[in-house]
Amino acid sequence: MKGADAYPGYFSLNLDNDIKMEATSTRRAGLERFTLPNPNDLPASLAGGTLDIDPENGRITIGDRYGSSFGPGSDHYQAFACDDLLSSGTQKLSEYGIWTGDT
């Protein structure tokens, strides 16, 4: 890790591979953003992904698969995230959805 910044409602972390991760939240919402270094080929090498929302348990799981970023190899790598939003099942989600940032 190269550096981190944190205060109530915001956290950021610069990873060793120059990816910047940011997270922010309010009482009813949370948002994560990953900023990739330029140049990168992740949009071109995306081999598939999933996003599952389990409103009963308040769990969001995300998984992406990426192909080789160079050469003829068939290596793939994966990225995962899991967020638990509820307090041990004592709360329920009344609304949920996703935002992709596309215009």
pLDDT tens digits for 20-79? 889 888 777 778 888 877 776 666 777 778 888 888 888 888 888 877 666 566 666 677
Question: Higher confidence at residue 71 or residue 14?
Answer: 14
| pLDDT for res 12 | 92
Closest CA to 78 of 31, 44, 42: 42
Q: Is the pLDDT of residue 103 over 70?
A: no
Residues 12, 15, 20, 22: what is their CA dihedral angle, to the nearest 10 degrees? -30
Which DSSP letter does residue 8 get? T
What separation in angstroms does the CA of 77 have from each of 16, 42, 102? Answer: 17, 11, 25
